């Protein structure tokens, strides 16, 4: 192989192998893990005290420079962890070499990534809860605002806007619970697993784990360094959030369209057409819906990376970070926009009420009434009302005003004088089963959800305060 060919091979390897230009997001987490590791090495008398002090001093200085925005790490380094080691070597010389004692990049990188994910969960959960709160606020204000309920995008039954908003509030609260579960599933620390088989140094993994805010060390070193299940858990929970944001956004697009007009959005959340000035395109909602594809794709990307990997670490796992970074950034952006939409959208109450009052919209209520009040088995009652609908269309007469004799012609059991004319308001009021759309039930459900939301926030705050350190701050030494 010629010198030129070797140089070309080296350039190709550097190009494909370098992640330092994007995994700098993990620099502060690497520093936190490294300081916890050095503190443990000192307590265990594995490294000299003066070397440990120099490492702490240099790592503190690096942290402050990164926080200030200084670009001090080499973006062309193989990865951020290598860049930090190179930085330390230039600052303190040979003593920097003690940092690699009883560890490897394998356990360092996966621990830093777990800490990063933990912070992302806390941030995203806060935004999801803000979205839940916004939808809950709408529900409380509009517990009695009647609108059409849709099935197959056809008007099905009347309900209230508050009921619909509560449905989304429940959905988003589940997403908050789901993403919180990611923390519980990764509450173990890989540090001390070293390359894959552990280490012969007398380390104290328990102390390192607790100083980093984990419940305990991981149980198996081989599993620890090659596992990316915790990353897939985060991406899976993120995909659920994105899917529900997409459904909500699709609803907003539909509700705000000109033929429907159930809600209005502020000018700041829509855009005008370049050719048709009268249009108000719901771009914010459409973009949220569109970004869902990226989040779902990121989950599939990492699933594809890990699907063929036996134990333990392979370089393929360098590809775990970009899907994670992109999902966290995309969800944060989408959630902020969704909170704004949920807070500022205005229901057009008159349009909603009119849209709910289509012909035969209370036909299902009539079938219920026949079963409840006249003792007609429901399936038969449903069939009879279907016949009445056809008769009403033929006679061009509302179903509530069909003459007795015409009803008798359908079935003798329908020939009674006290024939109900069920209104949209009566339909909504009647659906007062638990979880139903009756305004009083919506108000009750909103109060219960507010209580559950407060309990969830209190629990998660207590959990965070107990165990999770601020990773950009000081680590116990």
Q: Which two tokens stand for residue 300?
A: 């599939």
Q: Each residue of 25-53: b (16+ CB within 10 Å) or e?
A: bbbbbbbbbbbbbbbbbbeeebbeeebbe
CA distance 227 to 230: 8
Check whether the bond before 161 is cis (ω within 30° of 0). no
Dist CA 131 CA 447 (whole Å):
17
Q: What is the DSSP string of 66-95?
A: HHTT---S-TTSSSHHHHHHHHHHHHHGGG
- In sequence order, the 6+-apart residues with CB closer than 8 A to the CB of 191 are 33, 36, 37, 103, 107, 108, 111, 205, 208, 209, 212, 217
- Report H helices in 157-228: 161-185, 205-211, 221-226
Nearest-angstrom CA–CA distance, 125 and 332? 10
How far from chain centre, in Å, is Cα 102? 37
Q: Are 235 and 298 in contact (CB under 8 A)?
A: yes
Look up residue 204 and give its two tokens: 């104290």
The catalytically annotated residue of 152, 274, 278, 433 is 152
The residues near 339 (Cβ < 8 Å, ≥ 6 apart) are 127, 130, 131, 134
Q: Phi first, then psi: what are they for 18, rounded to 5°?
A: -85, 130
**Range list of H helices, 100-160:** 105-141
Six-digit token pair at 15? 């190009």
152 tagged catalytic: yes
Q: Is position 273 annotated as part of the catalytic site? A: yes
Closest CA to 260 of 356, 138, 158, 164: 356
Within 385-441, strands assigned E span: none
Side-chain half-sphere of 220: how many Cα atoms within 13 Å? 6
Q: Which residue has the tokens 């165990």?
A: 467
Q: How far apart are CA 78 and CA 235, in angstroms?
A: 25
Q: Where are the beta strands (DSSP E) in 228-352?
A: 263-264, 346-347
Catalytically annotated residues: 152, 273
């Amino acid at each position: 192989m010629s010198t030129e060919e070797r140089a070309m091979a080296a350039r190709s390897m550097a190009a494909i192998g370098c992640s330092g230009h994007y995994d700098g997001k993990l620099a502060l987490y690497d520093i936190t893990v490294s300081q916890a590791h050095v503190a443990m090495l000192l307590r265990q008398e594995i490294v000299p005290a003066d070397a440990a002090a120099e490492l702490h001093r240099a790592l503190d200085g690096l942290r402050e420079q990164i926080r200030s925005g200084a670009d001090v790490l080499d973006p062309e380094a193989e990865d951020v962890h290598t860049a930090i080691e190179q930085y330390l070597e230039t600052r303190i010389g040979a003593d920097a070499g003690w940092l690699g004692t009883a560890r490897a990049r394998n356990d360092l990188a996966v621990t830093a990534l777990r800490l990063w994910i933990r912070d992302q969960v806390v941030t995203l959960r806060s935004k999801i809860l803000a979205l839940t709160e916004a939808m809950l606020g709408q529900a409380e204000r509009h517990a009695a605002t009647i609108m059409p309920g849709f099935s197959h995008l056809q008007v099905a039954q009347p309900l209230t806007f508050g009921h619909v908003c509560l449905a989304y509030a429940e959905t988003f609260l589940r997403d908050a619970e789901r993403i919180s579960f990611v923390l519980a599933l990764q509450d173990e620390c890989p540090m001390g697993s070293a390359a894959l088989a552990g280490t012969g140094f007398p380390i104290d993994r328990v102390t390192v784990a607790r100083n980093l805010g984990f419940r305990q060390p991981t149980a198996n070193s081989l599993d620890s360094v090659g596992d990316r299940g915790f990353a897939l858990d985060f991406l899976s929970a993120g995909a659920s959030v994105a899917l529900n944001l997409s459904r909500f956004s699709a609803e907003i697009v539909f509700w705000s369209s000109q033929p429907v007009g159930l809600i209005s959005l502020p000018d700041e959340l829509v855009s005008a057409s370049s050719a048709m000035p009268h249009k108000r395109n719901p771009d914010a909602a459409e973009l949220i819906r569109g970004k869902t594809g990226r989040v779902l794709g990121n989950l599939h990307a990492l699933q594809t990376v890990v699907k063929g990997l036996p134990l333990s670490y392979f370089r393929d796992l360098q590809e775990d970070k970009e899907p994670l970074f992109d999902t966290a950034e995309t969800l944060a952006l989408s959630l902020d926009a969704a909170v704004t939409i949920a807070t500022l959208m205005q229901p057009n109450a008159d349009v909603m009420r009119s849209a709910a009052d289509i012909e035969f919209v209370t036909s299902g209520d009539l079938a219920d009434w026949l079963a409840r009040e006249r003792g007609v088995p429901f399936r038969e009652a449903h069939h009879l009302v279907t016949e009445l609908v056809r008769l009403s269309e033929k006679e061009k007469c509302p179903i509530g005003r069909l003459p007795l004799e015409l009803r008798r012609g359908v079935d003798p059991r329908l020939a009674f004088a006290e024939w109900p004319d069920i209104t949209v308001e009566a339909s909504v009021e009647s659906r007062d089963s638990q979880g139903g759309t009756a305004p009083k039930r919506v108000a009750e459900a909103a109060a219960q959800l507010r209580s559950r939301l407060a309990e969830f926030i209190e629990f998660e705050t207590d959990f965070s305060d107990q165990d999770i350190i601020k990773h950009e701050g000081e680590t116990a030494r």
